[in-house]
Amino acid sequence: MKETNKWSVRDVITTVLLSAVLIVIQLVVNMVCMANDFVSMVLSVGITMFLCAPVYMLMVSRIGKRFVTLIYMTLLGVIFFLMGNWFLLPYFIVTGAICEAILWKRGACGGPKRMTAAWTVASLLYNGVNLLPIWFFWDTYYDFALASGMEQSYIDSYVRYYTSSGWLAFILLFTTLMGFLGCMVGSRLIRRHFQKAGVL
Amino acid sequence: MRADASFAVPVKLWALLCVFAGVTIGGNMLLTCILTGGALLYLVLQRNFRLAASYGCFYLLLALLLYGIRFHGLRMPVFSEFYVLMFWNLSPIFLVSWDLITTPPGMLSAFLSRLRMPTPFILGLLVVFRFFPTMRTELKGVGRSMKNRGLTAAGQLLAHPVQSMEYVLVPLLLRVLQLADQLSVSAFARGAERPGVRGSYYEKRAGTRDHIAAAACAIVTASYLVLERSMA
Amino acid sequence: MIELTHASFQYENSDRGVRDISLSVKSGECVVLMGLSGCGKTTVTRLVNGLAPSYYPGVFSGSVRIDGKDISRLSTWEIGRLVGSVFQDPKSQFFSSELAGEVAFPCENYGLSAREIRERTDAAIEALKLSRLKDRAVNVLSSGEKQRAAIASVYAMKPKAFVCDEPTANLDAAGTRQLTQTLRQLKEQGFTLLLAEHRIDWLMGITDRFLYLRDGRIAAEYTPEDLLLLPEKDILHMGLRSPHEGKCLPAPSVLDESPAVLKTAGLSKRISKEVIFEDISLSVPKGKVTAITGQNGAGKTTLAQILCGLARQTRGHILIDGKKARAAVRRREIYYCGNDTSTQFFTASVAEELLLNTELTEESKDRARHLLKEFGLYEYRDTHPSTLSGGQKQRLAIACAIFSGRGILILDEPTSGLDGQNMRLIAERLRSEARNGRTILVITHDRELIESCCDNVVEVEKRSL
């Protein structure tokens, strides 16, 4: 392939397929974790971002052009949009733009350090996928819960992870750390496998 | 779903817009069943009986749970009440969205080429639909090879989780890249880099049936909103 | 029609390529490029369909003319209308999940009018006898039907010539037979055909000329008659597959008296009501190489996976040494070497791959070294398995099977992508493993492999043996 900044058919197909892999991992982890409040609200984002980091790094370094992250985040946003969480579409576009800004300086191909930085920030921001729907639907839920005769303490305990600053700090820290660790694993895999396999 | 029973793509987009408007503007949780009912009917009219039946069952289950929570003090240890409510509320959107993305890809690409979308964009869309079954097959293949090589023993998985992740991800990702390459070569050799407007095999103009469907979507949404306002 | 003059091409960052190829294919002629893996046959096809150098970067000199036009002056999509390309693996070329949509794909790309697209697509489907499958999803087609669909899609563009790169590499016996008919039909309709192939026997009635490539150059040219008269020793020396069309597969032989190590009783498999096979009673003698043949491609692979404990049977059971063996037990005793190598390798180098999950001792390292040398993979010991060529990957997969230390090996079409030289190497090694007491089961429709190493032949049909 000629090295140009124009997107070729191959770039489009690779981006779309790897984004699909990422989105499948994210949705599957999200669905499985729904069974348990603690796992779903505290751990799921961290797990997702850890698993996705190597795929993301492979995608960005394979294509080596600008806007890969933005496209991926937009696709992710569209999927959430189609699942009824429309506010996540603009949210993820902004997230994608922030990641692009981090990757921008080195031109087309961000080095591993920049990719790690971008994904770590993305991990922090991906918490929106849990937080925003709750904030968004909270009023309806609250009314319904009161009408169903739930006690105030029961309702409060449900959102305790997102209202107590201690828990919130832990969640944000945990997801960011997991995203970062994922990138460490990702860089190792890239060096050990993908560079050697000549696909980068 | 058969292509000839499917509504035209603009109708599907309009239907999506309608349910979005309904769910976002309206505030009555329980009454959204009007919208969901409309959405199920919308599937039946397009002969998507399988999805209509299976989601219908799921919806009934949600209704039962919701009834239990609301009137009998049911509290759920797994899958919290919040999710039941959210799924219930977003059901009409799920259904209409799912119908939109499972439109026969040929129809979607015909619609996009009418909008003068660039060819790479359309190829990207086409490729996704073919990809999910392929990915499942490949994932199964990786799992089988791991079993064959004795890499799936419980001890192995627990003692080296990161290594196990490597064993799954590396062959899978290399395969995805290989697939992407083969697909691009195949597209390249068949004129995909040609600039200009793309033609389409599935040319379908919106007919009377489509116009009626679009009107029905608007009517269902409007009646839901009116009913909901009058009760508030 | 196709005219290459002193064409040379070298891939970027590699010493591979072709040198000084001069070749002229007349309109309506069928020419086959043959030779060892890596001899440059694929590269020649890429020069003709314009993929090299416009998709695969590299240094090109000389000229390629198609129908009198110098293709270096044409854009890639213009070449695509002159020369239709058919590749190895049809299943990874498809963009549409419906047959009609797939056949229409190139016409859509060329922006033809809807009416013309319909006419051409329907005509192509008709011409390739796919009408029966028109509304079928492409992923349920057999491998031969998939390849026909791929050809139909190229046919719809009405090119002047077809270029096929190892079109049978992923086909089963029935698929290959269908392809022979399709190509004969294309030839009768006056299309020019250029093929790169290992297996040449199925092309005997169609081909006008065979070109033998060695180290990126055309080394010899044969008419089919010349090739058939070539002494066997020359064929061996050139590393070619036998050009003689098999009369038919060797008849199923009577099983000898050696004690059976692997037995099945009433084994059946259904996948959602569809019978894959039913009531199979098989008995595999110890220390022999047994071939499993049969028309039903998917059935044999499923059978092998069940035997190895990698898939579940619907009914019946499997005995090892006379004892009923559960799937987990079978997985310890039997090694399965699949035909599709794309998801078989896990590590970062050929040597690591072989030693994966074994204890590292001087003895095992030594054994690995010997095996790699024998299979011609020693010089690649530090390279990543995914960078190997198809034939090398297949050899590595077989090496892993042999190295595994399990008593029973099941190999699924182990020679489908191998040239003659490597096919014979594998056959020899399987024989010697059997002599050392291992039991080997080979699923194959490769007549040459069966003749050169198998002691017994078993034919599997849908309904019992």
Question: Where does the pLDDT of residue B28 fall: very low under 50, low under 70, confident under 90, or very high at 90 and above?
Answer: confident
Say whether residue A147 is in contact with chain B using an 8 A CB cutoff.
Answer: yes
pLDDT digits (tens, 9 = 90+) for C203-261: 888 999 999 999 999 999 999 999 889 888 888 888 888 888 765 555 556 556 677 88
Per-residue pLDDT, C209 = 94
pLDDT over 60 at C357, yes or no: yes
C276-325: pLDDT as tens digits: 888 888 888 888 899 988 776 668 888 999 999 999 999 998 999 888 98
Closest Cα in chain B, distance from residue C255 (Å) = 28
Give a yes or no: residue C147 inside a domain: yes
Would you say how long chain A is, in residues? 200
* Mutation for C interface: A8, A188, A196, A200, most C CBs within 10 A: A196
For residue range C30-77, list pLDDT tens digits in order: 999 998 888 889 999 999 999 988 888 899 999 999 999 998 888 888
Q: What percent of chain C has pLDDT over 90?
A: 44
Please give the pLDDT value at position C458: 85
Return residues 110-129 of A near B (CB < 8 Å). Answer: none
* Torsion angles phi and psi, residue B132, rounded to 5: -60, -50
Three-state DSSP class for residue C267: strand
Nearest to C47 by CA among C280, C218, C286: C218
Token representation of residue C26: 């007349």
The whole-angstrom separation of Cα C357 and Cα C448 is 34
Q: Which residues in chain B have their CB less than 8 angstroms from residue C109's CB? A: 119, 187, 190-192, 194, 198-199
A84 contact B CB<8A: yes
Q: How many CA atoms lie within 13 A of C77 on its CB side?
A: 16
Please give, rounded to a whole number of angstroms, the shortest distance from the CA of B225 to a CA of chain A. Answer: 16
Q: Could you tell me how many CB contacts below 8 A there are between chain B and chain C?
A: 163
Inter-residue contact C48 to C4 (CB < 8 Å): yes
Across the interface, do A147 and B70 touch by the CB < 8 Å criterion? yes
Measured CA to CA, the distance from residue C345 to residue C399 in angstroms comes to 12
Helix (H) or strand (E) holding C298: helix C297-307
For residue C321, give how far its alpha carbon lies from the nearest alpha carbon of chain A (Å): 41
- The reply to whether C321 falls in a domain is yes
A138 to chain B, any CB pair closer than 8 A? The answer is no
Residues on chain C touching A198 (C-beta within 8 angstroms): 384, 387
CB pairs under 8 A between A and B: 130
**How high is the mean pLDDT of chain B?**
88
Instruction: State the residue for tokens 């790897």.
Output: A18
Candidates C85, C98, C108, partner chain B, best to mutate (most B CBs within 10 A)? C108
Reduce the DSSP state of residue C342 to 3 states and report it.
Answer: helix
Q: Is residue C252 part of a domain?
A: no
Q: Does residue C245 form part of some domain?
A: no
What's the pTM value of the predicted model, to 2 decimals?
A: 0.91
For residue C465, being part of any structural domain is answered with: no
Shared domain check, C330 and C234 = no
CB-nearest to C348 from A2, A192, A198 is: A192
A-to-C residue pairs, Cβ atoms closer than 8 angstroms: 17
Q: What pLDDT, on a 0 to 100 scale, did the predictor assign at position A37?
A: 81
Residue C246 domain-assigned (yes or no): no
Query: B100 CB contacts (<8 Å, ≥6 apart)?
Result: A82, B9, B12, B13, B16
Same domain, C222 and C307: no
For residue C255, is it within any domain? no
Q: B85 to chain A: which residues are within 8 Å by CB?
A: 137, 140-141, 144
Query: Which of A1, A3, A10, A17 is the mutation pick for testing C, counting most C CBs within 10 A?
Result: A1
Runs of H (alpha helix) within C321-438: 327-333, 350-355, 362-374, 390-403, 420-435
Q: Is C119 on the interface with B (CB under 8 A)?
A: no
- In angstroms, the separation between the Cα of residue B139 and the nearest Cα of chain A is 11
Full domain range(s) for residue C368: 260-459
Nearest to C57 among A1, A198, A199 (CB): A1
A155 to chain B: which residues are within 8 Å by CB? Answer: none
Nearest CA in chain C to B172: C343
Chain A residue with the nearest C-alpha to that of C12: A1
In terms of average pLDDT, the best of A178-182, B228-232, C76-80 is A178-182
Alpha helix positions (H), A83-195 = 88-104, 112-125, 128-147, 152-158, 160-163, 165-189
Q: Report how far apart, in Å, the C-alpha atoms of A164 and of each of A114, A159, A169, C170, C289 are.
A: 32, 8, 9, 59, 69
Domain CATH for C157: 3.40.50.300
Distance from CA of A9 to the nearest CA of C (A): 11
C-beta atoms of B191 and C110 within 8 A: yes
Window A:3-42, CB contacts with B under 8 Å: 7-10, 12-18, 20-21, 24, 34-37
Contact B106 C98 (CB under 8 A): yes
Of C187, C205, C238, the position where a domain reaches its end is C238
Q: What is the DSSP string of B45-85?
A: HTT-HHHHHHHHHHHHHHHHHHHHHHHH----SSS-HHHHH
Residue after which a domain boundary falls, among C206, C238, C270: C238
C387 at B interface, C-beta within 8 A:
no
User: Cα–Cα distances in Å, from C41 out to C46, C80, C163, C195?
Assistant: 9, 20, 11, 9
3-state secondary structure of A129: helix
Residue-by-residue DSSP string for B144-208: HHHHHTT---HHHHHH-HHHHHHHHHHHHHHHHHHHHHHHHHHHHHTTTT--S----S------H
Residue whose structure tokens are 């600053």: A165
Residue C93 has what pLDDT? Answer: 86
C183 and C273 within one domain = no
Nearest CA of chain B to the CA of A17: how many Å? 7
Mean pLDDT of C6-23: 89
Q: Do B120 and A7 touch (CB under 8 A)?
A: yes
Of the listed ranges A142-151, A182-191, B219-228, C372-381, the least confidently predicted one is: A142-151
Q: How confident is the model at residue A24 (pLDDT cuts 50, 70, 90)?
A: very high
What's the pLDDT score for residue A134? 82
| Window C:47-66, CB contacts with B under 8 Å | 49, 51, 55
C228 & C264 share domain: no
For residue A142, the model assigns a pLDDT of: 82
Residue B1, pLDDT > 50, answer no
The structural domain count of chain C equals: 2
Cα C269 to Cα B220: distance, rounded to the nearest angstrom: 49
How does residue C465 score in pLDDT terms, banded at 50, 70 and 90? very low
Domain match, C120 and C183 both:
yes
Q: ipTM score here?
A: 0.90
pLDDT of residue A2: 43
pLDDT exceeds cutoff 70 at A18: yes
C249 within some domain: no
For residue A1, what pLDDT band results from cuts at 50, 70 and 90?
Answer: very low
> Rounded to whole angstroms, how far apart are CA atoms C34 and C42?
10
B97–A35 C-beta distance less than 8 A: no
pLDDT of residue C246: 62
